[in-house]
Amino acid sequence: MKKFLKFIFILLIPVFFATTFYFVKADDDNETEESEDEDDDEDDEDYKPKTTTKTVVTQPSVSTKVETTTKTTVYKDSDGDGILDETDPHPTVAEIYIAEDKNLNGIVDKFE
């Protein structure tokens, strides 16, 4: 029984001190709040409200949709001479193999 009373006594003393200091501190806080409220009342008498007018204009946002279309076109050069088939006078034979000699002197006209 003595151990039980000793245990209760050891447990209750810190709890008692903690609650006492808590309530004393809370009571002091109330007194400072009341004095601050009195000071605020004095400031309220000198307070003059300021009126300001502010005009805000909002414009609706303009959204622009941009649509991009990509078209892939393939141009062919069948003979590989660097001239496209659309503009090549003979698309199946490369230009390097065609020799023209209009003046019939035996020399290709490109080299004259």
Residue 48 has φ and ψ, to the nearest 5°, of -120, 120
Q: Is the pLDDT of residue 28 over 60?
A: no
- Greater pLDDT, 52 or 35: 52
The answer to whether the predicted template modeling score (pTM) of the entire model surpasses 0.75 is: no
pLDDT averaged over every residue in the chain: 77
Per residue in 36-86, pLDDT (tens digit) is 555 555 555 666 777 888 888 887 777 788 889 999 988 888 888 888 888
DSSP of 46-112: H-------------PPP---------------TT-SSS-TTT-SSTTS-GGG----TT-SSS-GGG-
For residues 100 and 80, what is the distance between their CA atoms, to the nearest angstrom? Answer: 19
Give the pLDDT score at 63: 79
CA pair distance 3, 11, nearest whole angstrom:
12
**What does the pLDDT read at residue 43?**
54
